[in-house]
A and B are shown apart, each in its own frame.
Chain A
Amino acid sequence: MDKLKLRGISKAYGNNLVVDKLNLTLRAGEFVSLLGPSGCGKTTTLRMIAGFVVPTAGTIELDGRQLSSQYESLPPEKRRMSMIFQSYALWPNMTVEQNVAFGLKMRKVPKDEARKRVAEILDIVHLTPLAKRYPNELSGGQQQRVSLARALVVKPEVMLLDEPLSNLDANLREEMRTEIRKLHNEFGITSIYVTHDQAEAMTTSDRIAIMSEGRIEQIDDPLTLYNRPKTRYVAEFIGRSNILDGKANGAGVSFAGFDVPAARLNGGRIATDIFSLRSQNIGLHAAKPANGESIVLPGSILERSFLGETWDYALQVGNGDLKLRVTSPPSNVFAVGQNVFVEIDPNNIVPIQDDQAA
Chain B
Amino acid sequence: MAELSAPISEETTRPFGIAAARARQFLTPTAVVSLILALILIFLVANPLLQLVKESLTNAKTGDYTFANYVAAFARPRYVQAFINSLQLGACVAILAGLIGVPLAWAVSRTDMPCRNLVHGMVIGSFLIPPFVGAIGWILLGGPNAGWINRIYIAVTGASAGPFNIFTFYGLVLVISLYVFPLVYVFSKSALDLVSTEMEEAAAILGSGPASTTLRITLPLILPAILGSLFIVFLEVLGLYGTAALIAIPAGFNVVTTQLAAFFENPVRVEVAAAFSMPLILITVILLGAQRLMLARKGYVTVSGKGGHRSLMQLGFFRWVMLAYAVLVGTLSVGAPMYIILQSAFTKAWVKGLAADNLTLNNFYQALVGQPSIRQSLVNTFHYAFWAATICTVLGFAIAYISRRRLLPFASVLSAITLAPFAVPGIVLAICFYAAYAPPPFSLYGLGALIVIAFVTRFLPIAFVNSNSAIQGLHPELEEAVRIAGGSQGRAVWEVVLPVLKMSLLGSWLLIFVIGTRELSTAMFLSGPQTRVISVLTIEMSEQGQYEILSAIAVLLLVVTGIVVAIGTKIVGRDFMLRRT
Contact = CB atoms under 8 A, between A and B. Distances in A.
A25 interface: no
Contact of A72 (B8, B477, B482, B485): B8
Interface stretch (B13-21, B238-246, B268-276, B435-443): B13-21
Contact of B486 (A74, A92, A107): A107
B484 A93 contact: no
20 contacts: A51-B483, A63-B1, A65-B7, A66-B7, A67-B4, A71-B8, A71-B21, A77-B484, A77-B487, A79-B484, A80-B486, A85-B477, A89-B478, A89-B480, A91-B481, A92-B478, A102-B487, A102-B495, A107-B486, A150-B485
Nearest to A79: B484
A81 interface: yes
A103 B485 contact: yes
B312 interface: no
Given A79-B484, A87-B477, A106-B485, A72 B17 contact: yes
B4 A78 contact: yes
Residue of A71, A81, A85 contacting most chain B CB atoms (<10 Å): A71
Contacts of A150: 481, 485
A102 B485 contact: yes
Which of B5, B481, B483, B500 has most A Cβ within 10 Å?
B481
A109 to B, nearest CB: 10
Contacts of B8: 66, 69, 71-72
Interface of B: 1, 3-8, 10, 14, 17-18, 21, 475, 477-478, 480-488, 491, 495-496, 499-500
A66 B5 contact: yes
Best-surrounded residue of B3, B483, B485 (most CB of chain A within 10 A): B485
B409 to A, nearest CB: 13
Contact of B3 (A63, A78, A83, A87): A78
A93 B500 CA distance: 6
B167 to A, nearest CB: 56
A52 B475 contact: no
Given A65-B6, A71-B14, A77-B488, A52 B1 contact: no
A349 interface: no
Nearest to B22: A71
A76 interface: yes
Contacts of A61: 7
Contacts of B491: 77, 106
A286 B499 CA distance: 70
B480 A85 contact: yes
Contact of A93 (B485, B486, B487, B496): B496
Interface in A44-83: 50-52, 59, 61-67, 69, 71-72, 74-83
Nearest to A62: B4
A4 B249 CA distance: 78
Contacts of A107: 486
Given A65-B6, A78-B486, 10 more contacts: A51-B484, A62-B4, A67-B4, A71-B8, A72-B8, A77-B483, A83-B484, A89-B475, A106-B491, A160-B484
Query: Looking at chain B's contact residues, is the secondary structure mostly helix, strand, loop, or mixed?
Result: helix
A69 B10 CA distance: 10
Given A52-B480, A80-B1, A87-B475, A93 B499 contact: yes
Interface of A: 50-52, 59, 61-67, 69, 71-72, 74-83, 85-87, 89-93, 102-103, 106-107, 150, 154, 160
A74 B4 contact: yes
Contacts of A78: 3-4, 486
Contact of B1 (A59, A65, A86): A65
Would you list the 5 A-B pairs with minimal beta carbon distance, nearest first? Answer: A106-B486, A66-B7, A89-B477, A103-B485, A89-B481
B484 A50 contact: yes
Contacts of A85: 477, 480-481
Contacts of B500: 91-93
Contacts of A77: 482-488, 491
Contacts of B6: 65-66
Contacts of A69: 8, 10
Given A71-B21, A92-B500, A93-B496, A83 B486 contact: no
A316 to B, nearest CB: 46
Nearest to B502: A93
Given A71-B18, A91-B496, A103 B4 contact: no
Contacts of A81: 484
Q: Most chain-B CB neighbours within 10 Å: which of A59, A74, A77, A92?
A: A77
A138 to B, nearest CB: 16
Contacts of B482: 77, 91, 102
A89 B478 CA distance: 5
A190 to B, nearest CB: 14
Nearest to A157: B1
A150 B485 CA distance: 9
A67 B145 CA distance: 83
Contacts of B486: 77-78, 80, 103, 106-107, 154
Contacts of B17: 71-72
Nearest to A83: B484
B43 to A, nearest CB: 31
A269 B486 CA distance: 51
A86 B487 contact: no
B2 to A, nearest CB: 10
Contacts of A67: 4
A67 B482 CA distance: 19
Contacts of B496: 91, 93
Nearest to B479: A89
Contacts of B478: 89, 91-92
Contacts of B5: 65-66, 72, 74
A80 B483 CA distance: 10
